[in-house]
Structure 1
Amino acid sequence: MQGREWWRDAVIYQVYPRSFQDSDGDGIGDLKGIIRRLPHIAALGADGIWLSPVFLSPQKDMGYDVSDYCDIDPLFGTLADFDALIARAHELGLKVIIDQVLSHSSDQHPWFRESRSSRDNPKADWYVWADPLPDGSPPNNWHSHFGGPAWEFDATRGQYYLHNFLAAQPDLNFHNPDVQDAILQTCDFWLRRGVDGFRLDTVNYYVHDARLRSNPPAQVRPQVMATDLYGMQQNIHNKNQPENLAFLRRLRQLTDRYGEIMMVGEVGEMGDRSIELMAEYTAGRDHLHMAYSFAMLSPDFTAAHFRRCIEGFQTGAPDGHPYWSFSNHDVPRHPSRWADHAVDHDAMARLSCAMLMAFEGTIGIYQGEELGLPETDLEYHELTDPPALRFWPAVKGRDGCRTPMVWEAEAPHGGFSSVTPWLPVKAPQQARAVDRQESDPESVLNFYRRSIAFRKASPALSGGRTTFLDLPEPVLGFRRSATEQTLTCLFNLSPRPVDFRLSGPADLMGLSAARLAEGLLSLPGNGFAFLHHDGALALHQSTSEAAL
């Protein structure tokens, strides 16, 4: 482990700034509020934070529509506040990763305002413009993630511009080297301010097919949302282009000049293709340091699914590095998402934590996950998320996982703000406040702290290699092996108990939720076990057998 990069096997805590802590009484979280609560993250045992966007923005998509890449939105504070956050985080031993939204900007960005002003201005080709077809329709059949065509007609230029998300988020033209240079300069701005890495939003969307070819229909149609036409195509021309890797090489060359900077890319893709892209984007030492996809952020909850994700990455990028997480600001919180497989809510929260901390790679956790927060049920008048506002009730949107962090069970709005916050704090969430869980040794919060500490103290979990076991559903089993230690990790993904007979001696590690007596290992519903053994061992469950 000596000389190993800090980010390998690290635990990164995602902060959603709007919802973490309000310090100025406007109902919206801010940088000073984050600074106040950094000790909570450090006490959890995290190694760093991923800060969702705080850049200047009209906030049409909650900061993922950037109008100035090199300034802080007054909603969140100032550049001086940002510098103070970096300094305080570093004092506490926390790295700071910032969210970079490079594939598209806000339509209020000065670059786009100039680009749309005419067809012959200096930035006319900085965004993706195309003439209408002879009948006036868009140049191809590409869809937006947020509903409707991915093209918006602009009357000034008499052309369409590309937007993979909102019409207020036009896509930059990465085929133009001047665009790449400008983006790299903005990244350099933050590196010089002392950030420790970048989380790269929609990293596989930077480059589009220059010929603007239409996508073919999907062979299967796994629509992400009930009204999402995007999933009805094979999205092969609007993203995932080979030129993307050339830009990532340029970005890696920049970050390498600053020492141990880490880049993790969000691969916006579903299914097996997402794992392939994770592997492709992290292979070698001149692309991303690591990547994650929506594969583990999905409703899928089977041993076969998790094994397929991890083994697929191992096979595709044996020298690459993964980043695994179960929740973030874009998907329903996982204890609610997987509720059909749970004994109860807390059992699922503990099982998923134990499983995540046993995975090989870097681990991401989302604010409130350590409290076992459930998804918040919202009414239409409480919504802010554009897809939900447009397609309700078929689409619930992302607001349910973005409601404020709860710090104090008896304080108004959970101690998040002194005024009504931008999204409501409701009773099921407030009941799980930090102060209520601090004093309960059996709370989800304290389980997360023990799990992270267990991972860090275990040579096998912090740096060992993974070998999967051929166990029947619903049990996920694998071995983590390091020179100093071998652990067998077993997870019961169902509410029904499962028993195994062990063929040899083994010790049950303290974090386990299982019973071992006279060679019989009993996993309760949603139970899990970490077994330490020196020699060969076999598991027998009825007629099934797996060699360890």
Structure 2
Amino acid sequence: MSANLDWWRGAIIYQIYPRSFMDSNHDGIGDIPGINAKLDYIASLGVDAIWVSPCFKSPMKDFGYDISDYRAIDPIFGDLGDFEQLIEQAHARDIKVMIDQVLSHTSDQHAWFEQSRQNKTNDKADWYVWSDPKPCGAPPNNWLSIFGGPAWQWDSRRRQYYLHNFLDSQPDLNFHNPEVQQAVLDNIEFWLKKGVDGLRLDAITFCFHDQELRDNPAKPEDERAGRGFSEDNPYAYQYHYYNNDRPENIGFIERLRALLDTYPGSVSLGEVASEDSLATMAEYTKGDNRLHMTYSFELLTKDYSVDYIRSTVETLENALGDGWPCWAVGNHDVERVATRWGDIANATATQKARFAKMITAMVCSLRGSVCLYQGEELGLTEADVAFEDLQDPYGVEFWPTFKGRDGCRTPMPWQHKAINAGFSNGKPWLPVDSTHADISVDLQESDENSVLNTYRQFMAWRKQSHVLTKGDIEFIDLHKDVLAFYRIAKTAGGNLEKVLCCFNLSNSDINLDLGEIVCKADMTPQCLHTADLDKNSLYLPSFGCFYALL
């Protein structure tokens, strides 16, 4: 393994959703041995790390994000030995391993909660957020759950309500209790001792709540744009000032960072969702004693216009200071980017493939690290999952206007002619989309111009570029449909290296006059080479990319 403690700066992190990656025992659910079996494939992608979504013991009400034992692997995924082998085998391929840590809440089947709910005097009575009802019997305030309904659930044992920002089977821990913080840190250290290289911190802004339990204020209708949740969800009707992103969170984050610093090279990546996520990202990564990096839902929305992407990145850059960003255009919580951004009317199959290539190149050319979701290297689209096949409680609650997250979680297609596209010989937990078999791994392996092989070649090219992995960023105006910026860095010899990056986000060919910009050399890698430069005139086809040394 590399001894570079700064490996995470500019890293490409490949997110694996274990249930849907590869099923080794053919029970229809992907598992850790399945990941182990595909490590050579993952290594071929040129990624620096894998982020493994939760595989800990859980009743699976929210498919692993409701943990009942933080130190045990759920039997459906394998055992601790399988996970230790994953770490060993990934490290042998110079791949770091990051694990999902769900800190703000547990499963209601966790031993802590089972004890806490028994009475108001036991040793863990104050480990969760409990409150008496109002005199009329109503919940203590107006806080809402992201998954629908009030964020409070009545418990007949204690004759009190408990807080749940997600499902009612996911009670929130009381981080105002120092014992809770220490227990959480002890669980994290268990995995650091096992050799994991980093943590993806789920819902990290939700750890603390307002101790006065003040009502959240109403949000005007014109400001109810969702970030990571359905637009028709009443959750968007409030400013979540009191149940999210509380100032006390900074103190805990600093304790967490102090622990990570005792394991050199281990890193933290926080998932941020707040009323001003970009400001929170800057605050949470400020200095060298908080999170190493964060990402938010800002590029996981429907809008991918040049103006939106540029303003998002520039706003964060202006606030970030010495902090480090991480970007994602897709994950297990949102509609797949090939559909969300790439479902362009009248686009041909060739254009859609070019779109998938361009989007990966674009996000990997921004300043920062990048999380890429399994299947993006194939250009997978959102699967259409019938209501009777839905598994996600979020989708069941808000059907039919919002179908939930199952469409981005269907199994990986490995072999186009195999049963269930090679994912499993058993009935998969979610059906394999028939259209995905047409762009399976084996078919794309044999096509040198495929999305998959372009992904590999681009990652290899990017890894050799200090300016793309570590350099600064400066946006420029070229065309309303062309995202253009410079990446700038000093070379080892002290010289300034400056690269122009251009991405045509439209389905139309564009001719650009570069004006005073002098391109010394066209650097566009062959796998993306669709542009044509003639002196200062640049032809950029639909979804085309262009890189030039200045």
Under TM normalisation by the shorter chain, which class is it?
over 0.9
Q: 1:355 aligns with which of 350, 359, 362?
A: 362
Cα distance in 2 for residues equivalent to 1:227 and 1:123: 37
Q: 1:235 aligns with which of 217, 240, 245?
A: 240
Q: 2:431 aligns with which of 413, 424, 440?
A: 424
- Residue 476 of structure 2 is aligned to residue 474 of structure 1: no
Instruction: Find the counterpart in structure 1 of residue 543 from structure 2.
Output: 526
- Residue 352 of structure 2 is aligned to residue 339 of structure 1: no
Cα distance in 1 for residues equivalent to 2:8 and 2:386: 40
> What's the Cα RMSD here?
1.5
Cα distance in 2 for residues equivalent to 1:203 and 1:144: 16
- Residue 512 of structure 2 is aligned to residue 500 of structure 1: yes
SS in 2 for 1:207: coil
Contact 2:219 2:239 (8 Å CA) reproduced: yes
Encode CA deviations 1:133-192: one digit per residue, 9 max, x unaligned. Answer: 111111000000000000000111111000000000000000000100110100010000
> Structure 2 matches for 1:140-151, cutoff 5 A?
140-151=141-152
SS in 2 for 1:190: helix
Amino acid at match of 1:487: V
Cα distance in 2 for residues equivalent to 1:207 and 1:505: 51
> Structure 2 matches for 1:60-209, cutoff 5 A?
60-209=61-210
Contact 1:336 1:345 (8 Å CA) reproduced: no
Instruction: Find the counterpart in structure 1 of residue 285 from structure 2.
Output: 282
How many pairs are equivalent?
A: 531
Amino acid at match of 1:488: L
- Residue 414 of structure 2 is aligned to residue 407 of structure 1: yes
- Residue 459 of structure 2 is aligned to residue 452 of structure 1: yes
SS in 2 for 1:199: strand
For structure 2, the residue ranges without an aligned partner over 5 or more in a row are 492-496
Contact 1:17 1:51 (8 Å CA) reproduced: yes
Worse-superposed segment, 427-436 or 493-502? 493-502
Shift of 1:505: 4.2
Contact 2:524 2:546 (8 Å CA) reproduced: no
Amino acid at match of 2:216: N
Amino acid at match of 1:424: P
SS in 2 for 1:370: coil
Q: Structure 1 residues 150, 505: CA separation in 2 closer, same or farther (over 3 Å shift)?
A: closer
Runs ≥4 in structure 1, deviation > 6 angstroms? Answer: none
Encode CA deviations 1:108-136: one digit per residue, 9 max, x unaligned. Answer: 00000000000111101100000111111
Worse-superposed segment, 408-417 or 466-475? 466-475
Cα distance in 1 for residues equivalent to 2:260 and 2:344: 42
Instruction: Find the counterpart in structure 2 of residue 514 from structure 1.
Output: 531
Shift of 1:42: 0.5
Cα distance in 2 for residues equivalent to 1:364 and 1:20: 16
SS in 1 for 2:478: coil
Shift of 1:226: 4.5
Instruction: Find the counterpart in structure 2 of residue 538 from structure 1.
Output: none
Shift of 1:510: 3.3
Shift of 1:474: 1.4
Amino acid at match of 1:513: T
TM-score (norm 1): 0.95
Instruction: Find the counterpart in structure 2 of residue 296 from structure 1.
Output: 299
> Structure 2 matches for 1:486-497, cutoff 5 A?
486-497=498-509
> Structure 2 matches for 1:25-36, cutoff 5 A?
25-36=26-37
Instruction: Find the counterpart in structure 1 of residue 397 from structure 2.
Output: 390
Instruction: Find the counterpart in structure 2 of residue 540 from structure 1.
Output: none
Instruction: Find the counterpart in structure 2 of residue 544 from structure 1.
Output: none
Cα distance in 2 for residues equivalent to 1:293 and 1:513: 31
Contact 2:69 2:110 (8 Å CA) reproduced: yes
> Structure 2 matches for 1:17-56, cutoff 5 A?
17-56=18-57
Encode CA deviations 1:222-260: one digit per residue, 9 max, x unaligned. Answer: 243154111100010001101001000001011100111
Cα distance in 2 for residues equivalent to 1:345 and 1:151: 45
For structure 1, the residue ranges without an aligned partner over 5 or more in a row are 534-548
Amino acid at match of 1:508: D
Cα distance in 2 for residues equivalent to 1:164 and 1:452: 38
- Residue 475 of structure 2 is aligned to residue 461 of structure 1: no
Contact 2:523 2:549 (8 Å CA) reproduced: yes
Shift of 1:391: 2.2
Contact 2:5 2:264 (8 Å CA) reproduced: no
Q: Structure 1 residues 297, 226: CA separation in 2 closer, same or farther (over 3 Å shift)?
A: closer
Cα distance in 1 for residues equivalent to 2:322 and 2:303: 27
Cα distance in 2 for residues equivalent to 1:186 and 1:253: 15
Contact 1:226 1:394 (8 Å CA) reproduced: no
Cα distance in 1 for residues equivalent to 2:162 and 2:473: 46
Instruction: Find the counterpart in structure 2 of residue 218 from structure 1.
Output: 219
Contact 1:147 1:227 (8 Å CA) reproduced: no
Q: Structure 1 residues 173, 4: CA separation in 2 closer, same or farther (over 3 Å shift)?
A: closer
The alignment-based identity, stated in percent, is 49
Instruction: Find the counterpart in structure 1 of residue 255 from structure 2.
Output: 250
Contact 1:269 1:294 (8 Å CA) reproduced: no
Encode CA deviations 1:438-468: one digit per residue, 9 max, x unaligned. Answer: 1101100011111111211122112211111
Shift of 1:506: 3.5
